Chains A and B, each alone.
Chain A
Amino acid sequence: MNWKPNNISKFTNDANVRGVFSQVVLIAALVFSFFWLTDNTLTNLSNQGKSLGFAFLSATAGFQISQTFGTWLFDYEVGTSTYLDVYFIGIANTLLVAVLGIVAATVIGFTLGIMRLSNNIVFRAFATTYIELLRNIPILLQLFFWYFAVLRALPGKRDKLEIIPDMIGVNITGLYLPAPVPQESFVYSVIAFAIAVLLTFGVIRYAKHVQRQTGKITPVFLIGTAFLIVIPVVTFLTTNSPLDWNMPEFRDTGPMLRRGYQSGSGMILVPELIAVWLALSLYTAAFIAEIVRAGILSVSKGQTEAAFALGIRPNYTLRLVVIPQAMRVIIPPLTSQYLNITKNSSLAVAIAYPELVSVFAGTALNQVGKEIEMIFMMMMVYLTFSLLTAAFMNWYNSKVKMVER
């Protein structure tokens, strides 16, 4: 039989052709669905008499926001500030609690992780109990617990608990600290500090160079500390101490409503912020502790034994042998925990901390009703912050990862 493949079947059976065809169909379908969804959204919005647009951002916001870092930073004033200001206040408050949470969770987490591997049974038992308890209770419940525990533990509004008399005190309305009021010439002290930091970096580099060349160890820590303290302090004193302190003012006479810490005096950390900070950092610390433990255990015991055999003392072994290797395992999951803190900070809406979700997606959204635009703006904030965190951590990871030769 004279069998001859015809051109069409040759064509349709070609794996290459089939592959391209199916991919193009998929892409076309995706593009179409996207346009269809957009078109539908716009049609539905216009049916409801709504339109897309960001003009609302320049309208004045007619509501009060709990006074915190954000309102202080952007000088919020009801009646003159706009919805854009509200947006920025939300972002500032979210970032504040995220950064505070990341720092605290890292410190607590590393401590607990190392404690859990300790030979001391008390340390080990404490760390184990802490980790198992905190990471198995939902974060929202912990948030409520800390908030109401903090509120119940603190003295009432007309009372105070002084940590340093007339300077630092606390009651149910918050933690009051002296507020720094820099004068114009304070800028010289800031410049002096910057110079001291640069000098210290120079010393560190020089010390490394010297150590490589000669094996001599320069007391970097002492020199650096001296630079960092002496240079700014001398500048500060020679420019006539250009920094005033606004002390918190407490009154216990006069009308009942007026008693207590006076608003506008000192610096205040509201209890909502303290509760969110506590809850986020204590909760995430439990996860970080486990990551740290996993990282340390991933370094083979032979490494430690080899270091001991060379006569390196235990704390140097940990610092110079174990931790640098453990970091390679720790960094990637640690990044996810940092991202979790940022995202979990949105739960603070439940306890009246005025972060982004609370003031922008809550109060502001309720007034202007621009759901799509506002939720989009909010997603962009979380996305940007998460991507920046991830980018920084990736950079750090590339620095500590194994150098392959």
Chain B
Amino acid sequence: MDNKIIAVAALVIGAGAGFFIGKGNKEVVEVEKIVEKTVEAKQTSTLDAVRAKGFVQCGVSQGLPGFSNADDSGKWTGIDVDLCRAVAAAVFGSGDKVKFSPLSAKQRFTALSSGEIDILSRNTTWTMTRDTQLGLNFAGVNYYDGQGMMVPKSLGVKSAVELDGANICTNTGTTTELNITDYFRSNNMKFNLVAFEKADEVVAAYDSGRCDVYTTDRSGLAAQRTKLTKPDDHMVLPEIISKEPLGPVVRQGDDQWFNVVRWTLRALINAEEMGVTKANAASKASSSTDPALLRLLGKEGKFGEELGLSNDWALNAIKAVGNYSESYEANVGPNTPLKLDRGVNALWSNGGILYAAPIR
């Protein structure tokens, strides 16, 4: 009898205590959230924070040749890297005031929203979900990519519509499996999919001849092709079966920093359009009479100050990495191991879709 009373009493006490501990815990968590928000509100200006620490912290990939890749001496190169250097040059006047954080695909958004990095420039596809649900903003597109297919030249295939019955290798955990299935279904073709967990194994399996086709983003194909035993024996088919616009990402809610990144990218594209290069930027700034060019290079108007930077922001960015074309040719163009033609990434005036709003 006594035991039962004790048991019930203890149960009530235990549950009550647990409840209050739990409740208290929830309150603490809520308070922490509010504190976090306040801290965030106080530090809204990424630009000020960047100036205070003296460098731009840039999130890049863990090694994708042509986009962001560290060489043996630890120097980072690639078009994604160049964008970060350009932003650093626009802010500080020097493209070296930047530090890189190599991030995996899983880490990248968390690193940005937690404030660990200031820009995410890591071949990231701009999609509606990412733009609207992650508290992030895409500042533009620096490479229009799309899913493509690579085949051995010996197969004698010139187009993806001839691939009925093929063995296709790819890696899981992306939309690539869905895109390739959709493509084959819409063309009424059959195929067999061999899906690996990681890209390295896909390359090894494709290289050994397990599959007729390797499918992933075209830039990825170009980069992975360099790892094959005989890269020249393989070709990328012309079909593009998905839209993958890649671009830099910043945190939502800081319009000033968003503008700095967005307009630095546009300045590089506008520079190509106006024929301003790394080599001639300084002389054009002093000798040109073209008003559009003078606005870009900071000799007319106060465009830099409107961004919260100095007026020669774009001039510094161009001097640091060159215009879009120079960065492209040096990192992914036909003369690099990636051998990627400009294709849709050409200027709108050259038949591509690269089109930057004017600086005026």
Contact = CB atoms under 8 A, between A and B. Distances in A.
Interface of A: 11, 16-17, 20-21, 24-25, 27-29, 31-33, 36, 62-67, 78-79, 144, 147-148, 151-152, 156-157, 172-173, 255-258, 263, 271-272, 349-352, 354, 358, 362-363, 366-367
A25 B17 CA distance: 10
Nearest to B14: A28
13 contacts: A28-B10, A32-B14, A63-B193, A64-B184, A79-B185, A157-B167, A257-B156, A257-B165, A263-B192, A349-B197, A354-B195, A362-B197, A363-B195
**Secondary structure type dominating chain A contacts:** helix
B156 A255 contact: yes
A77 B47 CA distance: 53
B194 interface: yes
A17 B3 contact: yes
A151 B15 CA distance: 61
B2 A32 contact: no
Contacts of B197: 349-350, 352, 358, 362
Contacts of B6: 17, 20-21
A172 B209 CA distance: 7
Contacts of B191: 64
Nearest to B168: A64
Interface string B192-205: 11111110010011
Interface stretch (B65-73, B173-181, B242-250, B335-343): B173-181
Top 9 A-B residue pairs of the complex, sorted by shortest distance between their CB atoms: A28-B14, A32-B18, A64-B193, A362-B172, A24-B10, A151-B208, A25-B14, A63-B177, A352-B196
Contacts of A151: 205, 208-210
Given A25-B10, A349-B197, A351-B201, A67 B163 contact: no
Interface residues of B, number: 50
Contacts of A358: 172, 195, 197
A70 B162 CA distance: 28
Given A255-B156, A362-B172, A64 B181 contact: yes
B22 interface: yes
Contacts, number: 132
B23 to A, nearest CB: 10
Contacts of B209: 151, 156-157, 172
Contacts of A255: 156, 162
A358 B173 CA distance: 10
B348 interface: no
Contacts of B192: 64, 66-67, 263
A67 B194 CA distance: 9
B217 interface: no
B357 interface: no
Given A24-B11, A79-B185, A66 B156 contact: no
Given A25-B13, A65-B193, A349-B197, 4 more contacts: A24-B10, A151-B205, A350-B201, A367-B178
Given A36-B22, A352-B201, A256 B193 contact: no
A256 B195 contact: no
B13 to A, nearest CB: 8
Contacts of A362: 172-173, 195, 197
Taking each of B162, B167, B178, B181, which has the highest tally of chain A beta carbons within 10 Å of its own beta carbon?
A: B167
B154 interface: yes
B14 to A, nearest CB: 3
B173 to A, nearest CB: 5
Contacts of B181: 62-64, 78
A239 B190 CA distance: 38
A29 B16 CA distance: 10
B155 interface: yes
Taking each of A17, A64, A79, A351, which has the highest tally of chain B beta carbons within 10 Å of its own beta carbon?
A: A64
Given A20-B3, A28-B18, A79-B185, A350 B196 contact: yes
Nearest to A49: B133
Contacts of A258: 165
A187 B185 CA distance: 38
Nearest to B151: A257
A25 B14 CA distance: 5
Nearest to A151: B208
